[in-house]
Amino acid sequence: MEAQAFTLDQPFQGAYEKFIEITSHLRAQAPGEQTHSDIEAYLETDGRELLRLLLQEHLDQQGPGRVGESVHGSDGVVRSHKRDHTETGYQSVFGAVRVPRTGYSQRGVSSLFPRDAQLNLPRQSYSHRLQKRVAAKAAKLAFESVASDIEAETGVRMGTRQIQEIVDAAAQDFDAFYAQPCPEEIEQHAAAKPIQVLTFDGKGVVMRQEALREATRKRAEASARKAPRGFARQDKSHRKRMAAVAGIYHIDRHVRSPQSVAQQFAPLRLVPQPRQVAPKPVGKKLWASLEKSMQTVIETGFAEGKRRDPEQQAEWVVLVDGDLTQLDDIEQAAKAFGVEVVIILDIIHVLEYLWKAAKAWLPPDDPQIAQWVCDKTSQLLQGEVKSVVRNLRRGATAKRMSSKQREPIDQCATYLTNHAPYLNYPLYLAKGYPIATGVIEGACRHLVKDRMEITGARWGLQGGEAVLKLRALVINGDFDAYWAYHEQQEYQRNHRSKFSEMPTAGPRLQLISGGKA
């Protein structure tokens, strides 16, 4: 039976003709006349045009969205003047399309377009699906690369300014998304694991001068006035703003001995047996902020902890790097939220101080340096903090070191003394608590550094903040759930809020009750 021929008054006539053109072209190709790449390149462009025509003609068939004699705006004004031939357009993932629509107006007020609300059309001239693609790529790639990829995939050209605008708008619902009721999966993790861990750190990001904090900006301006001499490189200091990085996760207990842990941190040649396999974190959420202070980010972390564990059934552990201001903020947040926390100084930061002290204590190439660090680490893990500090100071004096020579040793001793309340490692190990901040150190690297330090990147405050939010959503596995929520919020902002009541059922958008947290 022959296929029924389309007539000019039938729907999708243009798409049908394009389909016939494509199939005729493919049928006319003799075997071996084109490579598979040639064929795919043809289908990638002409096939995309076929899809664009299908979308365009579908929009045409649905009509202009006339819903009655008048519509009622949220401003209380009834709009009864109708204009049917008002079009708008946007760039879809298949290319540009036009949308016929009826505008309802009244003198002195802005017009309303029910068709826009029915389709949940975006404020920007790019479809939400195209914006989603841009946002996901911008979380990983430089904006120039995003523009190149989008044009290759969709044929849509956009500049870096348009990409920046899309990214800024795409990230605006981040805080509201994570403020929703805790998802069931996370509640299960919180109930199943005995320990909830909060961890915080900072990572510097190179900023444009106007985006620096005031004190840093003044130092940058003063440094810029000092011209470099000859071929000296211009001073690159005072160009960074600290991103406050936070993480939360749940984990099983991992009871171990001080000796086994000391061996794990020793160089491989000093470790005769295999290392123990530690339990893996679950329900992990990471985020970072350039706009918010560390104090605010810490408070947000505690709020997330309460959202997950409102009855404080788990033991709360906070891993820190030793920053004294950060410690004060953590203690204040714990008091404000009414939770008991165990604050633990990260053993990795302790090791950094020990290694510096060891290289001052012994000759730099002495093979005993690693063993010296291992011995001191073992003592600290057994709770001998005072003994280590005393031996460091007395030893430096006995060696008659100059103040400059003994400076790393004194710094290590002072660091240990100031943080003694958070160095009760025998208790922490017996309780099965984690004592290393590997999660947050990794977050500083793959959440912040790997994206924000792309060669030559200098960030504005709003743009940098938006990219960090989108990157956190991708890393946390929440991007798809977030985008569904974001589109719902766009509908509320751009359309629902303009009408006192929607003249039609509107788009079939479902409120998202969170994703993974």
Helix (H/G/I), strand (E/B), else coil: 344 = strand
pLDDT in tens, 112-147: 999 999 999 999 899 999 999 999 999 999 999 999
Judging by DSSP bridges, how do beta strands 240-251 and 95-106 pair with one another?
A: unpaired
| Pair 281, 250: CB distance under 8 Å | yes
| Pair 177, 485: CB distance under 8 Å | yes
181-219+236-345+436-489 topology per CATH = Nucleotidyltransferase; domain 5 (3.30.420)
What mean pLDDT value characterizes the chain?
89
Does residue 453 have a pLDDT over 50? yes
341 Cβ neighbours under 8 A, 6+ residues apart: 198, 316, 317, 318, 330, 334
Confidence of residue 365 (pLDDT cuts 50, 70, 90): confident
Average pLDDT rounded to a whole number, residues 28-51: 94
75 Cβ neighbours under 8 A, 6+ residues apart: 109
Does residue 67 have a pLDDT over 60? yes
Interaxial angle between packed helices 13-28 and 36-62, expressed in degrees from 0 to 180 and rounded to the nearest 10: 170
State the residue for tokens 């123990």: 276
Longest Cα–Cα distance in the chain: 104
What confidence score (pLDDT) does residue 122 get? Answer: 96
Q: Give buried/exposed letters for 481-496 (b at 16+ CB in 10 A, else e).
A: bbbbbbbbbbbeeebb
Q: How far apart are CA 26 and CA 3, in angstroms?
A: 19
Q: How far apart are CA 517 and CA 509, in angstroms?
A: 21
| Pair 291, 169: CB distance under 8 Å | no
| Pair 320, 327: CB distance under 8 Å | yes
Give residue limits of the domains in the chain. Answer: 13-62, 71-173+490-498, 181-219+236-345+436-489, 347-435
Give me 482's structure tokens. 């977030």
Confidence of residue 224 (pLDDT cuts 50, 70, 90): low
